[in-house]
Chains A and B, each alone.
Chain A
Amino acid sequence: MATKAGSSDNVGERFNGEYAVEINGLQKSFGPFHVHQGINLKVRKGTITYIMGGSGVGKSVLLKQIMGFIRPDAGKVIVNGESIHEASMRDTKRIRHSMGVLFQNGALFDSLSVYDNVSFTLKEQLHLPKSELDARVKSLLESVGLTFEHSKKMPAQLSGGQRKRIALARAIAMKPSIMMYDEPTTGLDPLTTDMVTKLIRETNDQYNLTSIVISHDTNVALDVAEELAFLKDGIVQYVGEPKGVFSDQNPDVREFFASGRKRLKL
């Protein structure tokens, strides 16, 4: 069972069920746009699950519904056994403590140094003394391949890859059990893409996480994902192992993943 916020700094105490996230019959519309028309998806604990789909299919909206930022019109979102879709504001915040998120561009706080960004949650939630904060920040930076020297820099002084690393260090500071990535490799050069992808894999293993990655990078997904879900027309068209996409009966699934392969061959 997930721990209550504030009872421990290790909010990632594990829920015993098989699935970290269960989504049943999820529907969401924005005015006349029916983004989700009955999403069903179960994310197995400890896996790296990629949620794929073209632009505008509602991948990020799905992530925001899992985080409890957006309420669905109908359907259920269950995170670590708790229904976040109907939770009160207070409970939503508590459930959210078991989740970390890496936003598309890192979403580092511009006015704060790297040190203050990484230690943000530790200061806000745990009120640790300076010496312990320093030790935690050092350890977090090292776990994402950076040194304590980077802590004095401001976000504007960092490269795209470094920003993602710092944002990841900040996200895992409270040891979440579920880590979500919103388009983590979009806009990055191939070398940095490799680095971020490797980091997702390593972080998942090191912290025993369940990782949910929103992406449309088919090649990275086929390489890294243990489970893969494909969204189109408001529903999940495919869910399963990556190797199954090319033999799936649904032509939309085959076409989407084959297009990525074609680009690679060119």
Chain B
Amino acid sequence: MLAPVIRYLRFWGELASFLWQTLTGLKMVYRRFPLIVQQIDFIGIQSLTILTFSGIFIGAVMSFQTYVALDLFGMESFLGASVGLALSRELAPVFAGIMVAGRAGAAIAAEIATMRVTEQIDALDALGTDPYDYLITPRLIAGVFSLPLLYGYFLLVGCLAGYFVGVVILDADGSIFWYRLAWAVDINDIFQGSIKAAIFGFFLSLMGCFYGFNANNNAQGVGIATNRAVVITSLLILFSDYVLTAYLPYDPSNLIYNGD
């Protein structure tokens, strides 16, 4: 009866301690600049292909479904506004976060867990290098920095795919698509989407590193660490997306339609 509570408390205690150790590495972060760049390449640049495809499909299906619904009420001119708002506020940060968690978060967990199993982390310690400072801090910074940029890319690709499906395939008006998109989506939407993406980037790096670092010393431990990192990160992204949407300030007054 008490065991799950103790396990739960221990998890949060270990996570807090892990995060604290990682944050203490920030004061020496300038020494790790090459490692941060390397991780930005891995988490950011190397995720572009998967985000291109997922952005195309999400933007396309969003445009298709929305067009069908709006057409029923003769409001297909609002297609650009719907696609732009949905992508900028919710779909782009959440899908970019989940896709990168599946690719880079899993890889981070597997790599660090393998280092744990093969005693490479003990070797770092034995050689006098702090593993948090060397392994974790650069990945955390790279995650927070990369995801807002990937969000922007996903948003662009998604809007272009939405335009293609809505205008080229379903025959909506192209100039009205972009006009309504620019009317509905303001800088605050992009800013909040970027904040969400940065937080999701923090989660995926943190959980990948945390589960990898604390993996059991066997091959099964690598699999379990990878699995948990992806599952927990995905759930955290969905949960925190709701919390952020509910509590980040949002002023939709620009959406009041006055007939122009």
Complex Cα gap A105–B120 (Å): 10
Segment of A35-43, A118-126, A237-245 in the binding face? A118-126
Given contacts A104-B119, A105-B119, A109-B120, contact A69 B128 (CB under 8 A): no
Complex Cα gap A38–B117 (Å): 29
- CB-defined A-B contacts under 8 Å, sample of 15: A5-B128, A67-B126, A69-B122, A96-B126, A97-B128, A100-B126, A104-B119, A105-B118, A107-B118, A108-B120, A109-B123, A110-B115, A120-B129, A125-B128, A174-B128
Q: Which residue of B lies closest to A173 (CB)?
A: B127
Say yes or no: is B125 at the interface (Cβ < 8 Å to chain A): yes
Q: Which residue of A lies closest to B130 (CB)?
A: A93
In the bound complex, do residue A110 and residue B120 qualify as a contact, i.e. CB atoms below 8 Å apart? yes
Complex Cα gap A68–B120 (Å): 16
Query: What A residues does B122 contact at CB under 8 A?
Result: 64, 69, 103, 107
In the bound complex, do residue A107 and residue B128 qualify as a contact, i.e. CB atoms below 8 Å apart? no
List A157-214 residues whose CB lies under 8 Å from chain B.
Answer: 170-171, 174
Complex Cα gap A174–B129 (Å): 13
Partner among B114, B118, B128 whose Cβ is within 8 Å of the Cβ of A96: B128
User: What per-residue 1/0 map shows which CB atoms of B102-135 lie under 8 Å from chain A?
Assistant: 0000000000001100111011011111000000
In the bound complex, do residue A101 and residue B126 qualify as a contact, i.e. CB atoms below 8 Å apart? yes
Complex Cα gap A121–B120 (Å): 14
A residues neighboring B (CB under 8 Å): 5, 64, 67, 69, 93, 96-97, 99-101, 103-105, 107-110, 120-121, 124-125, 170-171, 174
Q: Which residue of B lies closest to A121 (CB)?
A: B127
Complex Cα gap A121–B123 (Å): 11
In the bound complex, do residue B128 and residue A121 qualify as a contact, i.e. CB atoms below 8 Å apart? yes
- A-B pair count, CB < 8 Å, reads 48
In the bound complex, do residue A124 and residue B119 qualify as a contact, i.e. CB atoms below 8 Å apart? no
**Cβ distance A12 to chain B, nearest Cβ, rounded Å:** 14
B residues neighboring A (CB under 8 Å): 114-115, 118-120, 122-123, 125-129
Q: Which residue of B lies closest to A97 (CB)?
A: B128
Query: What B residues does A96 contact at CB under 8 A?
Result: 125-126, 128
Complex Cα gap A108–B121 (Å): 10
**Cβ distance A161 to chain B, nearest Cβ, rounded Å:** 17
In the bound complex, do residue B125 and residue A69 qualify as a contact, i.e. CB atoms below 8 Å apart? yes
In the bound complex, do residue A93 and residue B128 qualify as a contact, i.e. CB atoms below 8 Å apart? yes
In the bound complex, do residue B123 and residue A107 qualify as a contact, i.e. CB atoms below 8 Å apart? yes
Complex Cα gap A121–B128 (Å): 8
Complex Cα gap A105–B217 (Å): 14
Complex Cα gap A125–B49 (Å): 39
Q: Which residue of A lies closest to B114 (CB)?
A: A110
Partner among A64, A105, A124 whose Cβ is within 8 Å of the Cβ of B127: A124
Additional A-B contact list (12), CB under 8 Å, known A108-B123, A109-B120: A64-B122, A69-B122, A96-B126, A96-B128, A103-B119, A105-B118, A107-B120, A121-B128, A124-B128, A125-B128, A171-B126, A174-B127
Complex Cα gap A64–B119 (Å): 12
Complex Cα gap A105–B127 (Å): 16
Which of B118, B122, B123 has the most C-beta atoms of chain A within 10 angstroms of its own C-beta? B123
Complex Cα gap A251–B127 (Å): 40
